Amino acid sequence: MDATDKQAVFAALSYLLSYPDEQWRKERSEWQTMINQIQHQQLKEKLLSFMEEAALYSPEELIETYVYTFDFGKKTNLYVTYFNSGEQRERGIELLQLKDLYQQSGFQPTEKELPDYLPLMLEFAALADRDQAAAVFQKYAGNLEELRLQLSENESIYAALLDGLFIGLAEIGVERTVQP
């Protein structure tokens, strides 16, 4: 995966894993065009299969699915440090470390989300160099694998995105802690 594909894949994953509001729907065709330009065939197929399946949902159904999947599921939320420490104090330390790493890399995350919010982490991965992105995601590979397994078990439409994420992570050198 070259640098252009890396940026496109992680940016697309960030977008696709974000809340599917009206703005998300407005930008859908632009993202589909960008995804179609990805050279890595297997990654492109994962992302496009999610988009095709999501298109079968009404806007309300997609929002309901997203909320049910990510906002109400302790095992399927998008805050990756939560899998380690839940609401414990140690999580605050991890969040500060992530925020510091982002800033040292020149990435200025929004204050609207915690630094461990997966779409934000993916935004970082799209812009960061390969080694910086790999280091962050290697640390949380086990957490992401838990999320992927839960989504697969629940037959969630979002499972394809986590499958794609692991393909992309392997391309930048992140090793899976558990094999599929």
Q: Which domain holds residue 112?
A: 3-171
Domain membership of residue 176 (yes or no) is: no
Q: Tell me how far apart the alpha carbons of residues 45 and 58 are, in angstroms, rounded to a whole number.
A: 22
CATH of the domain at 90: 1.10.3480
pLDDT tens for 69-92 read: 998 777 899 999 887 665 666 788
Domain count of the chain?
1
Ramachandran bin of 86, using left for φ above 0, alpha for ψ from -120 to 50, beta for the remaining angles: left
Domain membership of residue 180 (yes or no) is: no
Q: What does pTM read for this prediction?
A: 0.92
pLDDT tens for 17-61 read: 999 999 999 999 999 999 999 999 999 999 999 999 999 999 999
Domain membership of residue 126 (yes or no) is: yes
